[in-house]
Amino acid sequence: MANNHAGLPSPTLGDLVLPKLYSLFGIANKDSLYGAVAEFEDGPQLVAAGAKVKEAGYTKLDALSPFPVHGIDDAIGVPRSILGFIVICIAFCGTFAAFLLMWYTGAYSGPQIPGCELVGLCSYPLVIGGKPLFHWVFGLPIMFELSILFAAFASVIGMFALNGLPRMHHPTFNYSGIHRATDDRFMLVVEASDPKFKAEETLELLRSLGAVHAELVEDK
């Protein structure tokens, strides 16, 4: 059987690594159409337009506004964040870590972990006031504190990861009036990756919904 790939150059390290770096820093690998951005005068118009666009069958939607707009998440179909589930799971990991740490340092009498003296993590059972070497009731403050600590780290790191941050640039920054998104304009974004997206039809739909301005934005 003939080799269909004969004569084709092998991908270089740059071909494999650069696209991932471009994605990390929000830089487009090549000029391409990102989507359509429509500008509205107030929040209620944005919510109404978002709902209409979603009803038309579009699913890759986003919204930009100078302050939170009530109802926009439901209007454009933004799912509930999974950050809360991540935080509670990591918090329970903190609880278990505290439980294990207290048991190991206070009641464990087996072989020591090699090098434990370097990090202060050696088992050293002590009888204090006739109390048991280990009991979960005495460790409630420790378990609480470590749970909060783990949850705090999970909240911050999870927020950055789920939002794709840090990102130095975003294609919507190429919109001509993007500076007003933090001032007095409310913007609806329809991404070109949406299966229903057709440049001119999408622009006409956005204009028909009351957009004061709508334009195509390139990912560059």
Which residues on neighbouring strands pair with residue 219, listed in sequence order?
A: 32
Of residues 196 and 26, more confidently modeled: 196
pTM of the model as a whole: 0.69
Q: Which amino acid is at 66?
A: P
Residue 191: the pLDDT is: 95
What is the set of domains in the chain, with CATH numbers? 31-79+170-219 (3.30.70), 83-162 (no CATH)
Under a CB-based contact definition with an 8 Å cutoff, are residues 170 and 219 in contact?
no
Cα dihedral value 163, 164, 166, 171, nearest 10: -100
**Residue 122 above 80 pLDDT?**
no
pLDDT per residue as tens digits for the range 176-209:
999 999 999 999 999 999 999 999 999 999 999 9
Write the burial class of residue 93 (CB in 10 Å: 0-12 exposed, 13-18 middle, 19+ buried): middle
Predicted confidence at residue 18, as pLDDT, reads 54
Residue 2: pLDDT above 50? no
Rounded to whole angstroms, how far apart are CA atoms 53 and 175? Answer: 20
Beta-bridged to residue 214, according to DSSP, are: 38
Q: How far apart are CA 36 and CA 202, in angstroms?
A: 7
Task: Please report which confidence band the pLDDT of residue 102 belongs to, taking 50, 70 and 90 as the band edges.
Answer: confident
